[in-house]
Chains A and B, each alone.
Chain A
Amino acid sequence: DAGVIQSPRHEVTEMGQEVTLRCKPISGHDYLFWYRQTMMRGLELLIYFNNNVPIDDSGMPEDRFSAKMPNASFSTLKIQPSEPRDSAVYFCASRAGSAYGYTFGSGTRLTVV
């Protein structure tokens, strides 16, 4: 099993640019979660999907953030326009419905300058 795959691993972009982060969950996992990690706020849940449907997006900071899951094997998190305060490590995680433990990807380190 390849695990949860995220791309890119690192992204440096200028303020105002659009950023798209990508995630491929583990095959057969029906839950997908997007987290953001910063020193100040730790791990914050942004949004999660069940069977490709967004269930809870209450953690999405503002309208500049959007997430989609067009199929069971792919999800994107988009920030448009990006701001320096969006700099963080963004993690995708997935799990099978019967389990509580998530499997995390290696993350995308986003730097907005």
Chain B
Amino acid sequence: NAGVTQTPKFQVLKTGQSMTLQCAQDMNHNSMYWYRQDPGMGLRLIYYSASEGTTDKGEVPNGYNVSRLNKREFSLRLESAAPSQTSVYFCASSPRTGNTGELFFGEGSRLTVL
């Protein structure tokens, strides 16, 4: 059972380049999330998708866009990467019905912007 799968695991970009982080879950979960993890700041929510067809901003959405492609997939796009976006990005999912908040995380994508 794969759970939550993120690609790529590592990426180096130059300032101004664009890229998309891919995330897929095979648990039939309704809700999906993108977090960034920075030292001393914990995990901060970038965007989330409560259900297929909806997306909403989290705490730190500036510089990012998302697409909920279908129930399984939720991608995060950096249109013009900046050094401040150097971080580890985690995708997560959770069931909606009866959910009490537990998230299931992917293994993370480490992004460096030079």
A and B held together in a complex: no
- Give the interface of A toward B (CB within 8 A): none
Interface residues in chain B, defined as those with a beta carbon under 8 Å from any beta carbon in chain A: none
